[in-house]
């Protein structure tokens, strides 16, 4: 089952541990009895073995039996939210309706961020990739146009402490915490009106790139939330590269005019990436 469904069952009291309601993140001990609601899936229902047609109106970068790599456009949410009627998750559910297991997002991108988005097509693949993500063992590289001239000719570490707010379910109080954010940045095209930079993330905090750049006076172009001017092409932030174990995927952004990124610039930023993220196997 998708993790979102399991969490919803827990929040609504449908999951019992030793006949008592449990809370998210409760610790289980050996020998306890866990009850979940009866599953509505039909195990005897035949499952179409043919690949589903691409219903996403998104580019499919790669697909096999366990993994789907999508090219998410800006403006499309990764997940459902209040007042939203369309998202990548909505489209996955529609495309794979009737399947025993709906392909599930491994991670997400901000609504206005474009680029590579991973979808697990099996539960085993989801667990494996989420474990890699939790250990910061996935190489994540972004391209961004930022306000002003920035001169980082070599990979430079940015390390910050960011305030993060966590909401513990609908109607519950919000909790604030300070988290460490680490990224490596490099200038690809510095200029006065705006600079093209590559960012290699070591941690994956909410709005991390946008916050770290804005705190240095160089917000991402098109970022209304953190103080940048509009550039006519939305938020110029793109997830261009993901790599783990023997897997590598690269996708150039579809920016136009003066913001277009050449294949040479893209390959140049990937040729001398900084040391591996924490937790990545050597």
Residues 167 and 253 in one domain: yes
- Look at residue 251 in the predicted model and tell me its pLDDT: 94
3-state helix, strand, coil in the chain (%, to 5): 15, 30, 55
Catalogue the E-assigned strands of the chain.
16-17, 20-21, 34-35, 59-63, 67-72, 104-105, 114-120, 139-146, 156-167, 174-189, 195-201, 237-244, 247-250
- Look at residue 209 in the predicted model and tell me its pLDDT: 94
Domain that holds residue 14: 1-41
Residues 68 and 166 in one domain: no
279 assigned to some structural domain: no
- Look at residue 213 in the predicted model and tell me its pLDDT: 94
CATH number assigned to the domain comprising residue 67: 3.30.2350.10
Active site residue 223: no
Residues 112 and 200 in one domain: no
276 assigned to some structural domain: no
Among candidate residues 18, 110, 112, 147, the one labeled active-site is: 110
281 assigned to some structural domain: no
Residues 227 and 169 in one domain: yes
* Integer CA distances (angstroms), 145 to 3, 78, 212, 237, in order: 34, 22, 14, 7
Residues 151 and 223 in one domain: yes
Residues 36 and 57 in one domain: no
User: 135, 170, 197: which is the final residue of a domain?
Assistant: 135
Residues 36 and 156 in one domain: no
- Look at residue 54 in the predicted model and tell me its pLDDT: 47
Residues 105 and 179 in one domain: no
State how many domains the chain has. Answer: 3
**What are the pLDDT digits (tens) for 174-222?**
667 788 999 999 999 998 889 999 999 988 888 999 999 999 999 999 9
- Look at residue 59 in the predicted model and tell me its pLDDT: 83
User: 95, 110, 135: which is the final residue of a domain?
Assistant: 135
**Which parts of the chain register pLDDT below 50?**
40-55, 277, 279, 281-282
- Look at residue 158 in the predicted model and tell me its pLDDT: 94
Residues 144 and 258 in one domain: yes
Residues 112 and 72 in one domain: yes
């Amino acid at each position: 089952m998708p993790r979102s469904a399991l969490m919803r069952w827990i929040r609504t009291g449908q999951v019992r541990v030793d006949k008592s309601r449990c809370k998210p993140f409760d610790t289980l001990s050996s020998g306890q009895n866990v009850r979940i609601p009866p599953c509505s899936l039909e195990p005897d229902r035949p499952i179409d073995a043919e690949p589903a047609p691409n219903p996403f109106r998104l580019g499919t970068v790669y697909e096999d039996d366990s993994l789907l790599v999508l090219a998410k456009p800006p403006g499309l949410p990764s997940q459902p939210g209040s007042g939203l009627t369309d998202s990548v998750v909505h489209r996955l559910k529609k495309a794979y309706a009737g399947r025993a297991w709906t392909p599930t997002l491994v991670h997400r991108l901000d609504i206005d961020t474009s680029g590579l988005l991973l979808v697990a097509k099996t539960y085993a693949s989801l667990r494996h990739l989420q474990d890699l993500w939790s250990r910061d063992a996935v190489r994540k590289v972004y391209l961004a146009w930022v306000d002003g001239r920035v001169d980082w000719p070599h990979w430079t570490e940015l390390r910050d402490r960011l305030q993060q707010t966590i909401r513990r379910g609908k109607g519950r109080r919000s909790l604030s915490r300070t988290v460490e954010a680490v990224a490596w940045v490099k200038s690809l095209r510095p200029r006065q009106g705006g600079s093209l930079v590559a960012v290699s993330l070591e941690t994956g905090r909410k709005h991390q790139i946008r916050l770290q750049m804005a705190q240095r006076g160089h917000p991402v172009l098109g970022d209304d939330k953190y103080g940048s001017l509009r550039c006519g092409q939305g938020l110029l932030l793109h997830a261009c590269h993901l790599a783990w174990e023997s897997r590598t995927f690269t996708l150039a952004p579809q920016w136009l005019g003066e913001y277009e990124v050449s294949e040479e610039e893209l390959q140049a930023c990937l040729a001398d990436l900084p040391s591996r993220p924490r937790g990545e196997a050597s």
